[in-house]
């Protein structure tokens, strides 16, 4: 019996070819997909797409902070500089609220672990929260060394003020985002602020910068600003003002020193003040630059301009006599008194003794518009134009009909208001032979021409008359400076309250120029609300003027006149018992 032969397995040819083709196509399709992902640029979701997506997750554009311009005094001494700091921030979504490192992080941030956990919980749905603003680079390095996921540092700049409270109201300060908020920082914020730059960086999964890739644009630092003040004079003015504030228990005060030739403010000190580097205890009362914002009735410091108007009228000369008997005068329902009956006096004595009766008679004899126009010409009733934020123009009323009482009040500085800076500018007119020059808080290179508002000879005559105020018999002997002739005038006014003038509260002032024969400096001192028995300008403000201006003359090397030097030598060589 023959054996049974097994059936031969047959496969249809088309199936075989199909399998072969599939096996052949699979590697080709795989290679094509790989090529589309890594080589071919124009296919959908190709390698360019993947690169963009990858870079979007690792390449970032970071801001390069711009350096804010430096503020200096006229000699280049820094008043405001920017120092590098780091702001620490976190992405709460990347942080573990239960991580053991939170304890050390909280300690470095000077808070408790519980406080930090509460903040993270509050921002749990956010991708940004501040941990600490503007810490030192050393403090930031300690935090970043922890290498906690979600904790980052951003380089920034923080403003520092080397002069501290000495020039605080003038220089001002910036906020935490480096924007000007007060003073010159605010007035010139557009110049001081730089333009931030940008760069592309490569970051790892923890957000740390691995590599700087490209500079998108360079940062542009802000412009530097040179102020007109001399920090040496500023320190002196601040020191003497602060001492006077303590001695007389005054509420506030200001000192302004002007350069007569250029109109530059060489010092502008105010009290009370504050430390711009630590504003945790800052009060709004200390913020004001009182020399340019606070208004006072200038009082008797305006009498020289009333006398100047009289001289200008042609009806009077320094020797013109005025009868002040019996030491008082009644105008309407108001009676004005002198300290005593000075009898018949000339205009120079009127200034020397600050006679209310003599000034009143002078005012009633002149056209009221003439006196007001004189005040306006020297700067009353209009802003000095320094550009300082909040600068006040004061007030200078103009009446259609001038009652006699208003004419009298106006003549000795009542019924209108001015700032210490306006008063300094007015005195600078007399000091510069009748030229009114613009006042500047910035250092100037060229001497301004100014405007001739008073006859030069009359200005010189007025300076000579005003020197008697600081000499024996005058109201401001304490304003005298050894070896120098000082021309100036005191002022003492009652403070204005809710119900009119307050009986026992005063503002004490002194304004003067030196050397009187060729003035280089004008100094104005205003002491508000001194308490105690001494409140007259000659007792309170005049000594401050003397100390501040004497130091300024020495620092600026302004010599006295040869005549004064010779007189000083003679006095120093006299022996006790010599005839005087």
- pLDDT, tens digit, 9 for 90 and up, residues 411-438: 999 999 999 999 999 999 999 999 999 9
Q: Is residue 33 part of a domain?
A: no
Q: Is residue 441 part of a domain?
A: yes
Q: What percent of the chain has pLDDT over 90?
A: 71
Contact call for residues 54 and 45 (beta carbons, < 8 A): no
pLDDT digits (tens, 9 = 90+) for 273-283: 999 999 888 88
pLDDT digits (tens, 9 = 90+) for 359-398: 999 999 999 899 999 999 999 999 999 999 999 999 999 8
560 contact partners, CB below 8 Å, separation of at least 6: 483, 484, 515, 568
How would DSSP label each residue in 442-483? Answer: B--SS----EE-S-HHHHHHHHHHHGGGGSTTSTTGGG-BTT
Same domain, 568 and 502: yes
Q: Is residue 281 part of a domain?
A: no
Q: What is the average per-residue pLDDT within 175-192?
A: 95
The SS3 call for residue 421 is helix
Same domain, 242 and 146: no
End position of a domain, from candidates 226, 246, 263: 226
Q: At 478, phi and psi to the nearest 5?
A: -75, -5
The SS3 call for residue 114 is helix
Tally the domains of the chain.
2
- Range in 46-50, 172-176, 494-498, 510-514 with the lowest mean pLDDT: 46-50
pLDDT of residue 1: 46
The SS3 call for residue 91 is coil
Q: Is residue 56 part of a domain?
A: no
Q: How far is CA 79 from CA 185, 275, 555, in A?
A: 11, 13, 19
pLDDT digits (tens, 9 = 90+) for 495-548: 988 888 888 899 999 999 999 999 999 999 999 999 988 999 999 999 999 999
Q: Is residue 42 part of a domain?
A: no
Q: How far apart are alpha carbons 395 and 122 in whole angstroms?
A: 54
Same domain, 298 and 181: no
Same domain, 413 and 360: yes
Confidence of residue 317 (pLDDT cuts 50, 70, 90): very high
pLDDT of residue 6: 55
pLDDT of residue 9: 53
Same domain, 309 and 395: yes
How would DSSP label each residue in 345-399? Answer: EEHHHHHHHT-HHHHHHHHHHS-HHHHHHHHHHTTTTS------TT----B----
Q: Is residue 111 part of a domain?
A: yes
Same domain, 265 and 346: yes
For 408, the enclosing helix (H) or strand (E) is helix 404-411
Same domain, 169 and 267: no
Same domain, 153 and 241: no
Residue 257 pLDDT greater than 50, yes or no:
yes
Longest dimension (CA), the chain: 176
Q: Is residue 103 part of a domain?
A: yes
Same domain, 158 and 110: yes
Q: Which CATH number is 440's domain given?
A: 3.40.710.10
Count of residues in the chain: 580
Q: Which CATH number is 144's domain given?
A: 3.90.1310.10
Mean pLDDT of the chain: 89
pLDDT of residue 211: 76
Catalytic residue among 300, 440, 443, 508: 300
Same domain, 221 and 240: no
300 is catalytic: yes
Same domain, 269 and 188: no
pLDDT of residue 576: 47
What is the domain range of residue 99? 62-226
pTM of the model: 0.84
Q: Is residue 49 part of a domain?
A: no
Same domain, 215 and 235: no
Q: How far apart are alpha carbons 279 and 277 in whole angstroms?
A: 6
Rg of the chain, C-alpha, whole Å: 38
């Amino acid at each position: 019996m023959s054996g049974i032969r097994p059936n031969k397995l047959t496969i249809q040819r088309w199936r075989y070819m199909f399998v072969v083709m599939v096996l052949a196509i699979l590697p080709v399709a795989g290679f094509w997909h790989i090529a589309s992902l890594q080589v071919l640029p124009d296919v959908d979701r190709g390698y360019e797409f993947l690169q963009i997506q990858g870079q979007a997750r690792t390449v970032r554009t970071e801001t390069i902070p711009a350096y804010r311009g430096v503020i200096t005094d006229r000699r280049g001494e820094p008043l405001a500089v920017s120092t590098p700091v780091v702001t620490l921030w976190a992405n709460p979504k990347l942080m573990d609220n239960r991580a053991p490192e939170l304890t050390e992080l909280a300690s470095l941030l000077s808070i408790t672990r519980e406080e930090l956990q509460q903040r993270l919980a509050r921002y749990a749905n956010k991708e940004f929260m501040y941990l600490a603003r503007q810490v030192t680079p050393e403090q930031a390095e300690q935090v970043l060394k922890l290498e906690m996921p979600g904790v980052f540092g951003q380089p920034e700049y923080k403003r520092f003020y080397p002069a501290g409270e000495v020039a605080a109201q003038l220089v001002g300060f910036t906020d935490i985002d480096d924007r000007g908020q007060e003073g010159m920082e605010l007035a010139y914020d557009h110049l001081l602020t730089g333009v931030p730059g940008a760069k592309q960086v490569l970051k790892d999964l923890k957000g740390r910068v691995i590599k700087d890739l490209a500079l998108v644009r360079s940062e542009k630092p802000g412009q530097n600003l040179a102020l007109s003040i001399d920090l040496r004079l500023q320190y002196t003015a601040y020191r003497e003002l602060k001492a006077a504030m303590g001695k007389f228990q005054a509420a506030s005060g200001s000192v302004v020193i002007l350069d007569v030739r250029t109109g530059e403010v060489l010092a502008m000190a105010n009290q009370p003040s504050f430390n711009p580097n630590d504003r945790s205890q800052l009060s709004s009362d200390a913020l004001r630059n009182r020399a340019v914002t606070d208004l006072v009735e200038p009082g008797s410091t305006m009498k020289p301009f009333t006398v100047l108007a009289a001289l200008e009228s042609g009806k009077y000369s320094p020797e013109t006599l005025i009868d002040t008997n019996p030491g008082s005068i009644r105008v309407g329902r108001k009676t004005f008194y002198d300290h005593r009956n000075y009898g018949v006096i000339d205009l120079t004595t009127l200034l020397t003794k600050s006679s209310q009766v003599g000034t009143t008679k002078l005012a009633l004899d002149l056209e009221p518009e003439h006196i007001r126009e004189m005040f306006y010409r020297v700067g009353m009733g209009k802003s000095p134009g320094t550009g300082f934020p909040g600068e006040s123009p004061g007030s200078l009323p103009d009446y259609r009909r001038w009652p006699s009482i208003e004419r009298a009040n106006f003549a000795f500085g009542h019924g209108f208001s001015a700032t210490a800076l306006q008063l300094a500018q007015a005195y600078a007119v007399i000091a510069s032979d009748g030229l009114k020059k613009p006042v500047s808080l910035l250092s100037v290179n060229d001497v301004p021409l100014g405007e001739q508002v008073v006859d030069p000879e009359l200005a010189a005559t007025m300076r000579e008359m005003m020197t008697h105020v600081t000499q024996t018999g005058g109201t401001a002997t304490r304003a005298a400076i050894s070896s120098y002739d000082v021309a100036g005038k005191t002022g003492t006014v009652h403070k204005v309250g809710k119900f009119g003038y307050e009986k026992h509260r005063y503002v004490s002032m002194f304004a003067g120029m030196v050397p009187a024969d060729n003035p280089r400096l004008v100094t104005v001192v205003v002491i508000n609300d001194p308490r105690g028995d001494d409140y007259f300008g000659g007792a309170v403000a005049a000594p401050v003027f003397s100390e501040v201006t004497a130091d300024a003359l020495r620092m600026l090397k302004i010599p006295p006149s040869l005549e004064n030097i010779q007189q000083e030598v003679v006095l120093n060589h006299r022996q006790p018992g010599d005839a005087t």
